[in-house]
Structure 1
């Protein structure tokens, strides 16, 4: 009984034998159909490469990383001065009326003038309680976190691909085992028919042999359907880039040399998820520095260059210039002291401390969960290795037992019940062996994923 990964993982391998009995004519046609057309072989590495190129989760993580790296590239701007320039030109057409102290009145309409002005301003923040430096470090940490999240997404995608790929291999092995059983059942039917003809056997024996054969034929149909469905799932992980009809390897490659202590020791320093969570702690501590900077005075360097010119066509009195021009340069420093802002700055500092504590708790909690997951995975891995060793011996014994029972059935020294019992034992042994192989591979994949060694551990071919 295969306990497969989430979704498929929690279903036994013979789940495919429990699909509704919509067999009918389709079942008979499928069993009697000619052998399958040649399928294009697809290796695990090929599927992994396609998943790295096409997986949507990886693309989203890459997009987030690009945004964080862009922020980091331009973060030096926080240390630079701010420079602005303004220019304007104005045309005036005014009607003026003036009354002087001696009650003399002067009036003129349609007075035209031009005003030109320009200015350049520089403001440079020299000190802000080190907020600018903390902000730049925080942005750099976010960029590094984005890279870790991308790596985590990659190993998760690769793990999903490996589990899907070898699930197909396990289903193929189960199909092959069922077909092997079918060959024995077909021989049983022939022998039961022959015994019935010569009067040494009964019809119930023949009917049971045919029932068992039809049950195995149904299993073959359902197993092939399950294989097609899992292939579609695998194809979906790579953006439907695999051939419409493809084949996978025949064997499950398992690394039987993993060591518990080595895996556990590598998790804290190589697990990408934990490293990304640790970055949240660093980011929160830098945010505290930024918030504390709000309590310090701000020191600015200011500089301005101004230019203005006014031209009047006519003057309404002798004190009005026809041409006026000013230009000049000034500079200086300004200091801003935060005195009282409703204690908002202190509130921000306190909230930043609370968030840092929260991030530490999240990290500690997840680290504990990951260590538990690793220990459970290694227990599954160790158990599957032991079951594999036992099941391999059991399969060899069961196959020999079926062979002996079949030969004895031919000679009439073995009953059909004994032969059928031997077949059931072989079927159970095959299922246990295939289950153990797949579970060992799933556990191995999970261990390598948790310790960050999954991608480099993918076998060639």
Structure 2
């Protein structure tokens, strides 16, 4: 992979592009200017811009950031809980008492205040090792988020590459149409010349003009197709739809891929398989959490309490005017689960079923990916051999066209022979361009299935 792309991929779980920031901004500024000279967008720069801007990648990155945030605070699950409370109450009351001996005691506008404060500590010492399983589970969720980013990156990069090389294909198709227009225009001039000197027929000249008009129509359609594909690529890059640029004029092919190399170690590279395996690991940790609910929870508790009661006056002579208490306490507490309606057992059974479900998902995904790789490689091998055949064939077609043009110019062949040779070149170009693009698409699909589009 190009070094620019490697520099912009950071699966931790953030993706940054520090080395490309200036170049990308410059590219976008120049591209949005209608009068600026059209810039060439390489496939590496297209991928880098997509990694920085693609909305699907940004959404996956946000989810992964939340998981990473949860894990960064998970260490505090082992720390004690410390809480402080306090309060101040003022009382103004009127009091009237009649004692058993008939004595009456009245008090009006009696003022008092009560101040309370406490600091309490609760520290879970043992909960069936649930806190350890929970912390490890949060770590697995963080790694799952990173894998989901990579999976989305692989998917987005593959889509960007397919669209980018489709633009290249359509531009090659446009050049092939322009070549046909030149050939037909030459044929039209020859037909007109022969008609003028009395050795040709008008239908030959008219047919050449009809063929030229058809190619002109195809040329306009092709230009529109290229613009539409560029708009699709702009959407994938998350840039303005008016951004304009040129692309490279060739489609590089890696003809060295082998089925054994693609299949080797795919279980440790393919993002989808890694995600399924990570979900299985999370399900197993969930089972440990549920089993921990069978054990007692032992905690250490401690508190410091302060209480002060201040009465300005009292009705009862035995009631204190001022009372203050403060003290420290500590001890152990145990919560022993005895019966909760078999809910713990139900949750354990549910977690066990989820593990079996995740195992089946992994086996299914492994079978599907293995089959997809085998089929994709068959397509790759077919298109690669077809490409080689068409590259050899185009040489024969061009040689045949050269001979037909010279024979027609010398008057030893017919107009139809010349037209048929040109149509053979058109068909051969279409097949060659299609074979080259199909080979590249099959190559991209193989690398996507393996997960090697990004490292």
> What is the TM-score normalised by the length of structure 1?
0.89
| Greater shift in the superposed pair: 94-103 or 433-442 | 94-103
CA contact (8 A) 1:128 1:294 kept: yes
Shift of 1:242: 8.4
- Show structure 1 runs of 4+ deviating over 4 A: none
| Greater shift in the superposed pair: 445-454 or 252-261 | 445-454
How far, CA to CA, are the matches of 1:286 and 1:395 in structure 2? 61
CA contact (8 A) 2:127 2:293 kept: yes
CA contact (8 A) 2:231 2:241 kept: no
How far, CA to CA, are the matches of 2:86 and 2:413 in structure 1? 108
CA contact (8 A) 1:165 1:234 kept: yes
* Residues 369-411 of structure 1: per-residue CA shift (max 9 Å, x gap): 1111111111111111101110011111111111111111111
Shift of 1:293: 1.0
* Unaligned runs of at least 5 residues, structure 1: 1-35, 457-461
How far, CA to CA, are the matches of 2:124 and 2:342 in structure 1? 23
How far, CA to CA, are the matches of 2:185 and 2:104 in structure 1? 128
Counterpart residue number, 2:357: 358
Counterpart residue number, 2:181: 182
Counterpart residue number, 2:23: none
Shift of 1:89: 0.6
Counterpart residue number, 1:451: 450
How far, CA to CA, are the matches of 1:115 and 1:236 in structure 2? 68
* Unaligned runs of at least 5 residues, structure 2: 1-34
How far, CA to CA, are the matches of 2:288 and 2:98 in structure 1? 64
Shift of 1:65: 1.0
CA contact (8 A) 1:117 1:308 kept: yes
Q: Secondary structure at the match of 1:257?
A: coil
Q: Secondary structure at the match of 2:304?
A: strand
Shift of 1:143: 0.2
Shift of 1:48: 1.2
1:289 correspondence with 2:285 = no
Shift of 1:98: 2.1
* Residues 103-146 of structure 1: per-residue CA shift (max 9 Å, x gap): 32211111101100101111111111111111111010000010
* Residues 355-382 of structure 1: per-residue CA shift (max 9 Å, x gap): 1111111121112111111111111111
Counterpart residue number, 2:31: none
How far, CA to CA, are the matches of 2:312 and 2:454 in structure 1? 81
1:271 correspondence with 2:270 = yes
CA contact (8 A) 1:370 1:450 kept: yes
1:90 correspondence with 2:86 = no
Counterpart residue number, 1:68: 67
How far, CA to CA, are the matches of 1:188 and 1:38 in structure 2? 36
> What is the TM-score normalised by the length of structure 2?
0.90
How far, CA to CA, are the matches of 1:253 and 1:274 in structure 2? 29
Q: Secondary structure at the match of 1:455?
A: coil
Counterpart residue number, 1:77: 76
Shift of 1:38: 5.7
Shift of 1:317: 1.9
Counterpart residue number, 1:409: 408
Shift of 1:39: 2.8
CA contact (8 A) 1:40 1:243 kept: no
Shift of 1:243: 7.2
Q: Secondary structure at the match of 2:211?
A: helix
CA RMSD of aligned residues (A): 1.5
Counterpart residue number, 1:28: none
Counterpart residue number, 1:252: 251
How far, CA to CA, are the matches of 1:63 and 1:254 in structure 2? 35
Q: Secondary structure at the match of 1:143?
A: helix
* Residues 229-278 of structure 1: per-residue CA shift (max 9 Å, x gap): 11111111112258733111011011111111111113111011211111
Counterpart residue number, 1:196: 195
